[in-house]
Amino acid sequence: MTKKRSRFGYGLLVLGLVFVLAFIVNLSLGSVIIPFDEVLEVLKGNANNTSSYYILVDYRLPKAMAALTIGGGLALSGLIMQTFFRNPLAGPFVLGISSGASLGVALLFFGSSIILGPIAFQNISRLSIIIASSAGSALVFGVILAVALRLKDVMGLLIIGLMFGSFTAALVTILSNFSTAEALQRYVFWTYGSLGGINTSELGYIILFVFIGFMGCLWLSKSLNGLMMGEQYARSMGIQVGKTRILILIITSLLAGASTAFAGPIGFIGLAVPHLVRLLIPTGDHRILTPAVFMTGGSLLLLCDTLSQLPGVESTLPINGVTSLIGAPILIWLILRKRKILM
């Protein structure tokens, strides 16, 4: 047991070092490359009133903080969803929360362009987009929560969540038929996801929501460990399954809803990172999985954000495409490698 704990400790240490390295690399690389030593000097507070200082403090540092926080939050929500449904294909958006956010933004873009005209559409602010996304997520969450209070079947809840996602996606598709080209283009760009433009006040909200979700995951570690063995086993351990179900839904909505509201829908992270961590650290204990998944999710999104910036070039790739383009081959390779070892 001591040897196993020591191995898990080393695994967490390695993930922590990768987490810190990914953060520093993300700050260093971009359209303007800043040497590591200058980045460290700025982080120490020793380099003020330089061009590197303003680039890092005003733009890159908030973006990097947002990337590690959102990446960790999405990965955590994926972890507890896969545990809750006991389904490896479950992710943070399986309950339709992302689709609800997309519907809110679609109503804002398409409705303003159709009803209020092009002038009103051009004046849509980032705050309005955040509010619309949050309202859409909250609406879907409220419906799912009401269903969860009545429905005791977990798989039934999963199916209903997927149907809500399909329903809202269908509404967005219908609305797009009546939209102007400009509104449709802006909506499509929003679906690509973006970590740029997040200011310090928005970052504070993201950190707050993700911190609450992280602490909630740690607090529910025993319950999540029990649910992995099935609801009957969890009840035999004295776990209140109904109460735990509601808490898991609330935590998932906080984590996934906050990320979607401020950065748009970012896929793959929540689905793949829990599997990636279980391959690297083979354990079912959520006291270990929670920090490991958070650090891995943050590191992966930082890496994808770094690659999307095309270091040394002013062009920026959609973060939503980069996460799947980079992450999927890595996960496939690890799974095939593990299967080869087992055989």
Which tens digit of pLDDT belongs to each residue from 187-197? 888 888 888 77
Distances in Å between the Cα of 67 and the Cα atoms of 32, 74, 274, 303 are 19, 10, 17, 9
More confident residue, 2 or 136: 136
The DSSP element (H or E) to which 128 belongs, if any, is helix 126-150
- Asked whether the predicted pLDDT for residue 110 surpasses 90, the reply is no
The residue with greater pLDDT, 230 or 56, is 56
Q: How confident is the model at residue 283 (pLDDT cuts 50, 70, 90)?
A: confident
Backbone φ and ψ for 33, nearest 5 degrees, come out as -85, 125
Whether the per-residue pLDDT at 249 is higher than 70: the answer is: yes
Token code pair at residue 57: 């403090």
How much of the chain exceeds pLDDT 90, in percent?
Answer: 14
The answer, yes or no, to whether residue 162 has pLDDT greater than 90, is no
Question: With 90 as the cut, is the pLDDT of residue 295 above it?
Answer: yes
For residue 34, pLDDT beyond 50? yes
Mean pLDDT along residues 133-155: 79
Q: Is the model more confident about 13 or about 211?
A: 211
| Sequence spans of domains, the chain | 2-342
Extract the tokens encoding 332: 């496939």
Q: How many residues does the chain have?
A: 343
Q: What angle do CA 154, 234, 290 make, to 5 degrees?
A: 85
Q: How confident is the model at residue 167 (pLDDT cuts 50, 70, 90)?
A: confident
Pairwise CA distance, residues 206 & 212, whole Å: 10
CATH 1.10.3470.10 fits domain 2-342:
yes
- Per the prediction, the chain carries an average pLDDT of 82
Is the model's pLDDT at 119 over the cut of 50?
yes
What does residue 331 show for φ and ψ, rounded to 5 degrees? -65, -40
Q: What does the block give as tokens for 199? A: 């200011």
Selection from 147, 78, 100, 76 nearest residue 265 by Cα: 100
Residue 257 confidence (pLDDT)? 84
Q: In angstroms, what CA-CA distances link 298 with 5, 27, 161, 175? A: 23, 14, 26, 34
**pLDDT beyond 80 at 91:** no
pLDDT for 217 equals 92
Answer for the pair 325, 45: CB distance below 8 angstroms, yes or no: no
In contact, 302 and 23? CB cutoff 8 Å: yes
Segment 4-32 shows an average pLDDT of 81
Higher per-residue confidence, 339 vs 86: 86
Burial of 140 (0-12, 13-18, 19+ CB in 10 A): buried
